[in-house]
């Protein structure tokens, strides 16, 4: 299995951090240390898939480091592990979007807990579990396959060729972060599917965006009247779709 390098940030390379690095090395987990310095973090950013901030008492990110980390983690789909006293980790966590925080661990650190955390992260990363998941529902398999091809590198994508198949799939203990739902489908159309989703406690909070091939004002108003999280015209291009999805998930 390909390993993801771990960047451990701290005010200084303390004895605890040196022990932690050795224990990671002993179980073949690649990790390296950088100080709480923006240039150092920036210079080593491309080497890592997961960041760890080991906090001694009152260690905090400066505003420029926090802004850099948040922006880069959002741009590159990376996350952070916070280690410290609960008061300290809670304060830092409050300044970082929650979806960017992979785990919070308390000091004194139990090394095996951290190693387990990293092993789980590596397994999830290898199986794409860390990616946001999207379900595409469309009766046109060619269009659906095209959109899946556009999204598969950034998201975990599932497909359903009808609204009823989507409802059945979601009812089998599957869940997603977003549904892209064709507005016009035979038998059970998009509005009917949305109504069924909203009527079920297990699916009512899943965000839904409509896919529509009609851009006249009357059609667009009919789509918006259903209060989806948004809609895309089927003429949208790959880059625009990816950008809009990124903005949605960052919101």
- Could you report the per-residue pLDDT of 207-245, keeping only the tens digit for each? 999 998 877 788 778 778 888 898 899 999 999 999 999
CA distances from 62 to 27, 66, 69, 85, 92 (A): 33, 6, 11, 18, 11
Residue 178 CA to residue 134 CA, distance in Å, equals: 5
| 180 neighbors 134 (Cβ within 8 angstroms) | yes
Write down the pLDDT at residue 1: 40
Write down the pLDDT at residue 2: 45
| 11 neighbors 35 (Cβ within 8 angstroms) | yes
Per residue, the 3-state secondary structure of 41-73, as one string, reads HHHCHHHCCEEEEECCCCCCCCHHHHHHHHHHH
Residue 223 CA to residue 227 CA, distance in Å, equals: 8
Residue 28 CA to residue 239 CA, distance in Å, equals: 38
Residue 231 CA to residue 194 CA, distance in Å, equals: 13
Task: Look at residue 209 and give its three-state secondary structure.
Answer: strand
- What share of the chain in percent tops pLDDT 70? 97
Exposed, middle or buried by CB within 10 Å (0-12, 13-18, 19+), for 210?
Answer: buried
Residue 104 CA to residue 85 CA, distance in Å, equals: 10
Torsion of CA 67, 68, 74, 78, to 10 degrees: -130
Write down the pLDDT at residue 168: 93
Task: Look at residue 13 and give its three-state secondary structure.
Answer: coil
Write down the pLDDT at residue 163: 92
Task: Look at residue 164 and give its three-state secondary structure.
Answer: helix
| Cα–Cα nearest to 180, from 203, 211, 212, 152 | 211
Write down the pLDDT at residue 4: 64
* Mean pLDDT of each 10-residue bin along the chain, 251 residues long: 77 94 95 95 93 92 94 88 94 90 95 95 80 92 94 90 93 91 89 91 93 81 84 93 88 66
User: Which strands make up the sheet holding 31-35, listed edge to edge?
Assistant: 31-35, 6-10, 50-54, 79-84, 101-106
């Amino acid at each position: 299995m390909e390993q993801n390098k771990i960047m451990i940030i701290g005010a200084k390379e303390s004895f605890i951090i040196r022990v932690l690095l050795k224990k990671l090395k002993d179980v073949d987990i690649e990790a390296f240390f950088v100080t709480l310095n923006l240039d150092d973090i920036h210079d080593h950013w491309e080497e890592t898939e997961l960041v760890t901030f080991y906090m001694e008492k009152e260690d905090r990110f400066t505003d420029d480091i926090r802004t850099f980390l948040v922006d880069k983690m959002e741009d590159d789909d990376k996350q952070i592990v916070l280690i410290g006293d609960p008061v300290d980790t809670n304060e830092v966590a409050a300044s970082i979007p929650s979806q960017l925080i992979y785990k919070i661990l308390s000091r004194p650190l139990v090394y095996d807990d951290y190693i387990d955390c990293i092993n789980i992260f590596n397994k999830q990363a290898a199986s794409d579990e860390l990616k946001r998941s999207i379900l595409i529902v469309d009766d046109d398999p060619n269009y659906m396959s095209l959109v899946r091809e556009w999204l598969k590198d950034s998201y975990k994508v599932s497909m359903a060729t009808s609204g009823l198949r989507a409802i059945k799939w979601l009812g089998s203990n599957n869940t997603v972060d977003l549904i892209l739902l064709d507005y016009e489908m035979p038998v059970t159309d998009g509005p009917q599917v949305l109504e069924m989703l909203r009527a079920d406690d297990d699916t009512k909070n899943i965000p839904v965006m409509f896919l529509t091939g009609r851009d006249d004002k009357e059609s667009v108003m009919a789509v918006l009247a259903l209060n989806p999280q948004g809609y895309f015209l089927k003429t949208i291009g790959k880059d625009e779709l990816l950008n809009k999805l990124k903005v949605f998930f960052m919101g």
